[in-house]
Structure 1
Amino acid sequence: MIELKNISKIYKTKNGEITAVKDVNLSIHQGEIFGIIGYSGAGKSTMIRLLNGLEKPTTGTVNVNGQEISSISGNKLRQARQKISMIFQHFNLLWSRTVADNIAFPLEIAGVPKSEREQRVKELIDLVGLSGRDLAYPSQLSGGQKQRVGIARALANNPEVLLCDEATSALDPETTDSILELLLDINKRLGLTIVLITHEMHVIRKICHRVAVMEAGQVVESGEVLQVFQNPQAAITKNFVMQVSGAKESKESIEQILVNYPTGKIVKVTFVGNNTEQPIMSQLIKQFNVDVNIVHGNISQTTSGPYGTLIVQIDGEQENVQQALNLLTSLDIQTEVIEHA
């Protein structure tokens, strides 16, 4: 669906060259929600502008649905962009237009007849949950409602790709979740390919199927979200995973328990999928006569299933403790003995 090959983007300034994107290769499948995450300055915004042709790569090619966006211009590019829509962090609505008129705007530009525009607008207002608000102005809407208008407008021309540039960053957590659920619903209903740029791992965890992690213009890690959560490789990815796994909060607890309970083993246990629902700790206590002290625990839901971490102290006879650890390993549960916080 979307193929980026050997993409680099270099800007020339008075102070020299700035490499915003460097040697990026990505494949995004049709109908998936693909997340690109990174901190400020990582190159995310440049990446999304390359996808819709607002920027041309210095080297490499951008192919969207069989069309090389990086090599076309003029009318061909304008036609291609009708199938690549975008929603923004700050909504970018026309404040002098009503909800209905904002949604109709791209249809007007495309020359769609009025009767067809009105029918399409009604369908979209219902789709995004804004029934009864068609005559309201943006100043009369909440942040979440404004973003729903932005989503409806982006869908007006039946795009094949929806680009989301930090689309929830200006929203409170509850409203963020409602917008993410709407995007997930749209993805399932319409089979729309969604590319989502963010600096929040919660956003990735909640709706994305796969993710690419960017740092200093490069993709340092990519893969299925559940796999990245389970086994992050790059340091920056580990930091992002900590945002939603609660691992940072557990450090103080680990330090304290290492002091107070010098015997036994402090173990980080990672559960994936159905294992998160099994009474495995109870099984260890009964089967091996060990004491299990829970230090910290957390379960996160991803689109591919649940992911959980549990930090425990396992104490008892050395042989029994080792047998308990062996059982965890035999159940394909990732375990890590922690010697230091």
Structure 2
Amino acid sequence: MISIKGLSKIFNTDAHNQVTAVDNITLTINEGDIFGFIGYSGAGKSTFVRLLNRLEEPTGGQITINNQEISSLKTKGLRLARQEIGMIFQHFNLLWSRTVKENITFPLEISGVPKTERDDRVQELINLVGLAGKENAYPSQLSGGQKQRVGIARALANKPKVLLCDEATSALDPETTNSILDLLVDINNKLGLTIILITHEMHVIRKICNRVAVMESGKIVEQGNVLDVFLKPKQEVTRKFVEQVMGSNEEEEDLQQLIQSYKHGTIIRLHFVGETTNQALISQVAKKFNVDINILQGKITQTQAGAYGSLFVQMDGDQTEIKQAIQYIEKETSVELEVVQHVN
């Protein structure tokens, strides 16, 4: 779907200094992916996404989308190619003197779509993004989430195959962020759209992306399926991002102190990966075996590929029952189990 080879962008700050914002990036993005790019401020991720539709001109490299090399297109060809690449922005970039309907209509007017066809398409998009009844409202009359929904509808007007999202939820509160992310997943499912999402927030990656690339100093330092990156982050910057949703080393130290305070029973760590998290494991074990189970601490997070996380529990009761319960979990489920502490 999207092939990127040796993509670079160098800015000349003055006669003698240069800044390499994007440094020799090569990767492939599959059709239908929700592919996230995450990095701290200055990592080069926003420059990277603007290179994909040539809002920034590459210094070097190739960008191929749907077998068309974007990086070599001239003015007319680039204008046509951009119709298949929608983009939404952090601060919405709406036309404040135009209504919701007029904002969404604008790219269709530029493309020369007949009025009747425009009207049908705009109403279809308004319904898709959940803005029915707001057709004649102006941006100043809308909430942040509603403004972003207008931006999404406008980006979809020309039926693009790719949607670029540059920090699209950074200006929104957490609840509104989740609703916009849910909308993007819905659009991806209904339209088969390939979505490229730029963010500095790991929970955004966790919630909707199936693949992720971590950027630092203009380079991709780590990439892969989201669940794999959560399970085995290789770079320090990646580990810091994973801690945003899974907890820090300080929290781990607090947990160890809590575990040490228990003077009886067996302390067990249950590690969930993928669909196993959705099983009612604690309930099943409590029903099958004569043991008391006390949940001490845990954090489980959902990704598009399934759930991931750990749960620490205390099992108390007859030692034979506890042993049988442990054997059941190890042999009959795919949950990984580790006995952390055993106190008679």
Aligned AA for 2:11?
Y
Match of 1:17 in 2: 18
Distance 1:201 1:337, change over 3 A: farther
CA distance in 2, matches of 1:290, 1:105: 65
Match of 2:203 in 1: 202
Match of 1:66 in 2: 67
CA distance in 1, matches of 2:2, 2:281: 42
Distance 1:336 1:20, change over 3 A: farther
Alignment of 1:14-163 (within 5 A): 14=14, 16-163=17-164
Match of 1:7 in 2: 7
Distance 1:251 1:111, change over 3 A: same
Match of 1:257 in 2: 258
- Number of matched pairs: 335
Aligned AA for 1:17?
Q
| Alignment gaps of 5+ in structure 1 | none
Match of 2:244 in 1: 243
Q: TM-score scaled by structure 1? A: 0.87
CA distance in 2, matches of 1:16, 1:264: 64
Can you list the C-alpha shifts for 1:39-65, whole angstroms capped at 9, x where unaligned? 111110011011111223323211111
CA distance in 1, matches of 2:141, 2:201: 28
Alignment of 1:325-336 (within 5 A): 328=330, 333-334=335-336
CA distance in 2, matches of 1:232, 1:281: 31
Match of 1:170 in 2: 171
SS at match of 1:18: strand
Q: Which moved more, 1:175-184 or 1:304-313?
A: 304-313
Aligned AA for 1:85?
G
CA distance in 1, matches of 2:236, 2:296: 24
Alignment of 1:187-226 (within 5 A): 187-226=188-227
Match of 1:273 in 2: 274
Can you list the C-alpha shifts for 1:61-113, whole angstroms capped at 9, x where unaligned? 11111111112221111111111010000000000001100000001111112
Distance 1:43 1:281, change over 3 A: farther
Aligned AA for 1:303?
Q
Aligned AA for 2:3?
E
CA distance in 1, matches of 2:331, 2:226: 22
Cα contact 1:202–1:243 (8 A) shared by 2: yes
Deviation, 1:156, is 0.6
SS at match of 1:157: coil
CA distance in 1, matches of 2:192, 2:173: 27
Cα contact 2:100–2:138 (8 A) shared by 1: yes
Corresponding position: 1:230 with 2:231: yes
CA distance in 2, matches of 1:258, 1:248: 15
Deviation, 1:250, is 2.5
Aligned AA for 1:279?
L
Cα contact 2:92–2:147 (8 A) shared by 1: yes
Q: TM-score scaled by structure 2? A: 0.86
Can you list the C-alpha shifts for 1:19-41, whole angstroms capped at 9, x where unaligned? 11122221111112111111111
CA distance in 2, matches of 1:263, 1:279: 22
Can you list the C-alpha shifts for 1:118-152, whole angstroms capped at 9, x where unaligned? 11111111111111111110000011110010011
Alignment of 1:286-297 (within 5 A): 294-297=295-298
Cα contact 2:206–2:304 (8 A) shared by 1: yes
Can you list the C-alpha shifts for 1:207-264, whole angstroms capped at 9, x where unaligned? 1111111111111111111222222222221221121123456334224236535999
Can you list the C-alpha shifts for 1:180-203, whole angstroms capped at 9, x where unaligned? 111111111111111010111111
Deviant stretches of 4+, over 6 Å: 262-267, 289-293, 313-317, 335-339
| Alignment gaps of 5+ in structure 2 | none
